[in-house]
Amino acid sequence: MKTTKWTTSSVHHQFPLSLLFCLCLLTVVWSCNKDDEQPTQSENTFTDSRDGQVYEWVILADGKKWMAENCNFSVPGSWCYDNKDSNCRSHGRLYNWEAAFSACPSGWHLPTDEEWASMAKTYGGHSQDSDDSGQSAYAALAEGGESGLNCLFSGYRHRDGEFLSMGRFYAYYWTSTEYDELSAWSYALFDTRDQLLRIVSRKEQGFACRCVED
C-alpha cells in the first residue's frame, strides 16, 4: 500500500489555500448579514400609503416633525408646473386651497397659520413678527438653510391658469387657516429681499404644500 508522504513544503502550500477558502466563506456570510440589516429606506423618511411615494421629514426648532419636501399627491384642483410631470417630480404639485386639505397623507395635516408662525418664530419670525423683516427665517427655511425644511421656489399657478415664477421671486405655501370666504393665509419666501412673508392669498391660486405630523 502506498503511503502519502507529507513534506514541510506540501503543508505550506495546502494550508494557505484552506485558510483562504474559510476566510472567503466568512466574508460572504458577514456581507449577507450586513445587507439584511440595512433598512429599506432612510430613518428620516416615510411612505405615503396612498401612492407609495417616499418623503423626507425633519424635526424643526419648534419641536414638530415637518415634511422636508413638497407634497406630490395628485388630487383634483392640483397641477404640475406648466403641466409637466417632471416638475412635479422635482418640485411637488401646486394645489388650490380646497385641494390642499387632501394633499397630506394619513397621520399628517396641513399646518395652520399659527403653526407656520410659531415655527417661523423659532428662526427669527416672518416679516411682520421679527426684528429683521423675516430675513433670518428666510435664510433658515430656504433650500440649503440650517433648518433642513428646504423650501423650494416651485412657482405658483395664478387663478387665471398661468404658471409663474418657478425658481425665482416667490415660494408660496398654504396654511389651513381661512382669512375670509375668498382668501386664506399663506407664507412666501421672497428671494429679491430674502424675506419670509405672511400674506393673504386667493383660494383659487395654486401653491405648494408642506405637512406637519399630527
- Residue 212, pLDDT > 80, answer yes
Query: What is the spatial distance between Cα 4 and Cα 113, in angstroms, rounded to a whole number?
Result: 88
Terminal CA-to-CA distance of the chain, rounded, Å? Answer: 83
- What is the pTM for the complete model shown? 0.80
What percent of the chain shows pLDDT beyond 90? Answer: 79
Measured over the CA atoms of residue 70, residue 75, residue 80 and residue 86, the dihedral's sign is positive
Query: What is the spatial distance between Cα 52 and Cα 73, in angstroms, rounded to a whole number?
Result: 10
28: DSSP letter: H
pLDDT, position 42: 61
Dihedral class, residue 186 (left if φ above 0, else alpha if ψ from -120 to 50, else beta)? beta
Rounded to an integer, the average pLDDT of 21-50 is 57
pLDDT, position 43: 86
| Contacts of residue 200, Cβ cutoff 8 Å, sequence gap at least 6 | 179, 183, 184, 185, 186
Whether the CB-CB separation of 92 and 152 falls below 8 Å is answered with yes
Measured over the CA atoms of residue 95, residue 98, residue 103 and residue 104, the dihedral's sign is positive
Q: What is the pLDDT of residues 51-105, one digit of tens each?
A: 999 999 999 999 999 999 999 999 999 999 999 999 999 999 999 999 999 999 9
| Contacts of residue 69, Cβ cutoff 8 Å, sequence gap at least 6 | 55, 56, 92, 150
